[in-house]
Structure 1
């Protein structure tokens, strides 16, 4: 006997949830010869704004992550590969390894500040545009 229970519970089909309907086939053209309207392109309107918002969020996450984790990876790499560099005294009398470890906190804060700056400058305006929708007409005297 098989342990496959898929025959007992058939898959439920749900209707498609596409943003734009599929283009009608050529044989469905009206008999009088009038051309069918061109299918709407997905690169316009709200979908384009959503793609731009996703791209901005991805870019923002990557930059902040590489700033913080990249510095940490360099610190770990130097610790493992060049311990003599890390034990050498730095200006101020501290060992270089300890100085680089203490600099990690400001670098992390810099990554957070960079993340906040790019969020306010690039991502938040896109999110507001997507939230308002493509039909939003700004009031007179306000920015869009």
Structure 2
């Protein structure tokens, strides 16, 4: 199995219908350890605090965290070759690994978010805004995006 897909399965397998009684049981250190190998080619080189900030889904992220998101999107083939356009079909595959939502539903709001985010010429800001928009839409549909336990 492709290592990238395995990593994503580990991160998103607990994407479940929102339920106040059910909290994801993902340990921060385990998630950081899973993602760290995929950050080796990122510039600027992210620190663990940036990976943690991304995993906690903070809205006001540091520049390095935004660039980490961009680097991961590029690494998971979510950007075109010129790195200026979000590849919606690949994004659907990544964000809907566990098939909790219909692909066409994910694609619908991925297209909306891509259009909004692609107005930015700064690649790190583009990735940050796309991620925030996509997570917001996933949660609006009643799904809970897993957040690691600190």
The normalised TM-score by structure 2 is: 0.21
The normalised TM-score by structure 1 is: 0.22
